[in-house]
Structures are given as structure tokens and as C-alpha cells.
Amino acid sequence: MVDDAYNRWDADIRTGKTSILIAPDNDTVAMLNERAQADRVGSGAVDAEATVDLSDGLHAGRGDTILARRNDRHLLDDTGDFIRNGTLITITGEPNPDGSITGIRQDNGVQINLGASYLAESVELGYATTAHRSQGITVDTGHTLVSEGRLTRELFYVSMTRGKAGNHAYISEPDPRDHHGVAPILSAGLAANPRRHTLHRRCRTHRPRGPRGTTQPGQLPVPPARRA
């Protein structure tokens, strides 16, 4: 399911959409971020020669997408709006001599400058993140990886409401020979949800239907998030 989520996320990015991958753990997030960055370096979309240090131990250069992780009312974009937790930014040029970068906010298309200390303390690569850290992110589409017992009802809701145009869940079964569908997996992770019967009914409705079905194996479509 990781490859399915990544490929669909990549397809969205290539068509000009903003999108985020949401993974159940930090190791998967790091793997997806490194994979996305490497693919973009290979295509020439990202410059890996001149980079800045980020708080997740990774590096970012021109063309990379980064994710702000802390509100800072002293860091303002060109309209005077401050940087917020969950803001995705595309770096538009080489790092400045002082280690700062200039980028474009993906939420409003406005330019912003981030200093070296903020980058090193409060910014991560922004191709993938965890459900918990996805709070505050708004994109066109979200792609969430779901593993058994790794996601609470609250975090599932958070991850499945990041996309304005579409949100998709990719269910990872512990044993590929298990044909019981996605409902038991969600049940294990969402046991605290008092409305879990609703989730189960939705899972049954959208479970794989065989060669003639239109639902992708292991994928749970979810209606787009409502606009505020």
C-alpha cells in the first residue's frame, strides 16, 4: 500500500495539485520524504547541491517542499501574515549566505523568508508527515497509510480531512492472505470511536469488489473535506 499511496500522491503533484502523504510512524515518514526528494533531485526539480539543515535531520534545497512546525508571529510573509504550524512552503531559490531561504507558501501563494534558526528548529521536509503532525495542514488531496492498531479515531479524522478536493486511505493488511477486508483493521485502531459502526458500514460499502469493481484494493475513498 505504501507504493500505491506514493504513486497516487506523485500523480497529484505532477498535475499541479498540493498534496500530503500521511504515515503511521516516523520511520515511514522519513522514508517517504527521502524517496520524494530523491525522485525530484533525479528529475531536476530539486537542487541537492546547496541545502539547509532541517529539524528532522534532513536537508532541503531549491525546489523542495518544507513543512513549518511552529507558529511564529515574528516571521511574516509579504502580506504581513505570520507563519503557522502546518504551513507548506516551496523553496524558490538557493539558500542565502546567512542560511535563510525564500519560498512560496502553498496555502496562499505569497512569498516568505525563513531564517536558519527557525529552519533548524521547527521545519521538516514536507512531502510526508504523521497524522498527529498533519494538524493544521490544508492541501488539495491527502493520502493516508493505515496500519492495524496504529491510528486512533481522532487522528484518523484529522488525517482524512486534510484535503479540500479528496482524501484517500490505504489499508495495510498484516497478512496478504487475509481476505476479511478493511473493517477489522480500522476496528482495531478505532476501538475508542463511539460511532465505529458507521465507519464499519462505510468500509463494507467500499471494500474491493473484484476485477469488475472500481475501488482500488485496500483503498478507502472518503468524501472531500468541507470548505470552511
CA 33, CA 37: separation in Å to the nearest integer? 6
Instruction: Give the domain ranges of the chain.
Output: 27-127, 131-222
pLDDT higher than threshold 80 for residue 105: yes
Selecting from 2.60.40.1120, 3.40.50.300, 3.30.530.20, 2.30.30.940, what CATH number does the domain 27-127 have?
A: 2.30.30.940
Where is average pLDDT lowest: 70-74, 146-150, 214-218? 214-218
pLDDT higher than threshold 60 for residue 100: yes
CA 46, CA 189: separation in Å to the nearest integer? 37
Kindly indicate the confidence band of residue 197, based on its pLDDT and cuts at 50, 70 and 90.
very low
What pLDDT is stored for residue 186 in this prediction? 56
pTM score of the predicted model: 0.78
Query: Which of 138, 39, 148, 52 shows the shortest CA–CA distance to 93?
Result: 52
Distances (CA, A) of 31 to 36, 37, 51, 63, 207: 9, 10, 19, 19, 28
Burial label, 17 (beta-carbon count in 10 A; 0-12, 13-18, 19+): middle
Average pLDDT on 211-227 reads 47
Classify strands 72-76 and 128-130 as parallel, antiparallel or unpaired: unpaired
pLDDT higher than threshold 60 for residue 150: yes
Cβ–Cβ < 8 Å for 160, 136: no
Residue with the three cell numbers 498534496: 19
As a whole number, the mean pLDDT across the chain is 83
Where is average pLDDT lowest: 7-21, 50-64, 139-153? 139-153
CA 189, CA 53: separation in Å to the nearest integer? 35
Query: Which of 100, 174, 186, 106 shows the shortest CA–CA distance to 141?
Result: 106
